[in-house]
Amino acid sequence: KQWYQRRVRGNTAVMKCAEQTPLTALYIGKLAQEVGFPAGVLNILSGFGPTAGGAMASHMDIDKVGFTGSTEVGKLIQSASGQSNLKRVTLELGGKSPNIVFDDADMKQALMGAHMGLFFNVGQCCCAGSRIFVQEGIYEKFVGEMVKMAQARVLGDPFDPQTTHGAQIDGEQLNKILGLVKSGVEQGASLQCGGSQHGDKGFYMQPTVFADVKDDMKISTDEIFGPVMQISSFKTVEEVVERANNTNYGLAAGVFTKNVDTMYRVSSALRAGHVWGNTYNVLVTQSPFGGFKESGFGRDLGEYALSSYTEVKCVTMAVPQKNS
């Protein structure tokens, strides 16, 4: 989404994807050639982060870097900018997004919003709504229904139309997820379903749901980037807002309620760059997207994104006096 924003403002672009996903960028480059982009307007670079990515972040002739990825790497890019030419940087980083469900919410709508908010792209989504806060009046029912939905996901080949749940990106990420799941069990969270690798081929993780999760557990504080849902209960608006904001991240959030006053009150109080109401993961080109705190700064999409790819110049000159 960043390279076309550069083009709208008349910039050329060098696009580097993560080393785990080079084919996507190369295919975009092929499409750019097919539609007639002049040579040099869009440039595709494949390589590893510390080498290729590091060279871009510290390059003296690059004026702007837009990065989507982990908070850890985002900090390195920001540091490289300061140690090189002070290039402008925008960062869309990690998240541990809260999804809040009130007693009066439409249950079917809330279940689908929470389910897709976490399991979309098998949890490999920066704005995944992984921390589910459910008001105590509907908590038990919500957990039971969510477990059924998770267990109904079909794992398999992503090219099979029947598949609803694919594999993680690589073995390293799968092992990270399994390690965090293990910590959740050890710290006393209630494992409702999943929790293990699926099969012996590929990097498939079972859809996993934890209930009765405490805010200080690692599964509640660390970005898992996988299909692992954490559900906990709350009583009051004041309580859930404080708990939802108790994180280093601030990328996104969700609120499910039929009460418009509650919706406005909670969405205003949440420290998140994008808040969805009675839906989740809805992104449109016109709406800016980005985070607070360690989820980064700057915005993608919308008019706000375009300002990151321009320089403001003021020219003041004296002209001969005009007598007329």
Which residues are identified as catalytic? 92, 126
Q: Which two tokens stand for residue 170?
A: 């690589």
Burial 287-309 (b: 16+ CB within 10 A, else e): eebbbbbbbbbbbbbeeebeebb
Name the phi and psi angles at 105, rounded to 5.
Answer: -65, 150
- 260-269 helix and 237-244 helix, angle to the nearest 10 degrees: 30
Name the phi and psi angles at 258, rounded to 5.
Answer: -90, -10
Say how far apart CA 52 and CA 77 lie, in whole Å: 12
Paired residues of 45 in beta bridges? 16
Amino acid letter for position 288: P
Query: SS3 for 114?
Result: helix
Burial 132-156 (b: 16+ CB within 10 A, else e): bbbbeebbeebbebbbebbeebebb
Contact 229, 78 (CB under 8 A): no
Q: What angle do CA 235, 236, 240 make, to 5 degrees?
A: 90
